[in-house]
């Protein structure tokens, strides 16, 4: 059997299909925000009528060298993710991270 869902335009724009085979359906279990913070619907960027923006609290570490480096970023929500240099090159926290390492530019990493 195939089930069809009425999906919001936002999800269809992201390439999510509205038809699923019954074998792919699973029960829904609500998120436990105490165990997995920052995953409530309103906290996910790009969803909802007025998407919220989250600020970067600090850069924790990095891997790689130069413009190919990836940075471990802690957000003000407490979440920690990895971001490429191109996504955070304009942030003040990156300049502070460079200062803590004693480098002036990305080329010195």
What CATH number does residue 66 fall under? 2.40.50.40
Tell me, what's the pLDDT at 61?
Answer: 94
Tell me, what's the pLDDT at 37?
Answer: 65
Based on the fold, state whether residues 62 and 95 are members of the same structural domain: yes
Based on the fold, state whether residues 60 and 104 are members of the same structural domain: yes
Q: Judging by DSSP bridges, how do beta strands 70-75 and 80-84 pair with one another? A: antiparallel
Range of the domain at 21: 2-43
Round to whole Å and give the CA distance between 73 and 105: 18
Residue 49 lies in a domain: no
Based on the fold, state whether residues 33 and 66 are members of the same structural domain: no
Based on the fold, state whether residues 65 and 27 are members of the same structural domain: no
Q: How many domains does the chain have?
A: 2
Which portions of the chain are predicted below pLDDT 50?
none
Tell me, what's the pLDDT at 29?
Answer: 80
Contact 94, 106 (CB under 8 A): no
29-53: pLDDT as tens digits:
877 767 766 666 555 555 555 555 6
pTM for the whole thing?
A: 0.53
Phi and psi at residue 33, in whole multiples of 5°? -65, -20
Tell me, what's the pLDDT at 39?
Answer: 60
Based on the fold, state whether residues 104 and 68 are members of the same structural domain: yes
Tell me, what's the pLDDT at 52?
Answer: 56
Tell me, what's the pLDDT at 76?
Answer: 84
């Amino acid at each position: 059997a195939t089930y069809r869902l009425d999906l919001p335009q936002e999800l269809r724009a992201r390439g999510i299909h509205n038809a699923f085979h019954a074998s792919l359906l699973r029960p829904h279990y609500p998120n436990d925000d105490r165990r997995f913070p920052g995953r409530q619907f309103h906290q996910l960027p790009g969803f909802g009528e007025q998407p919220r923006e989250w600020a970067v609290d600090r850069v924790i570490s990095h891997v790689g060298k130069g413009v190919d480096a990836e940075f471990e970023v802690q957000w003000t929500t407490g979440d920690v993710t990895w971001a490429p240099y191109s996504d955070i090159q304009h942030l003040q926290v990156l300049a502070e991270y460079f200062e803590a390492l004693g480098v002036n530019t990305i080329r010195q990493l």
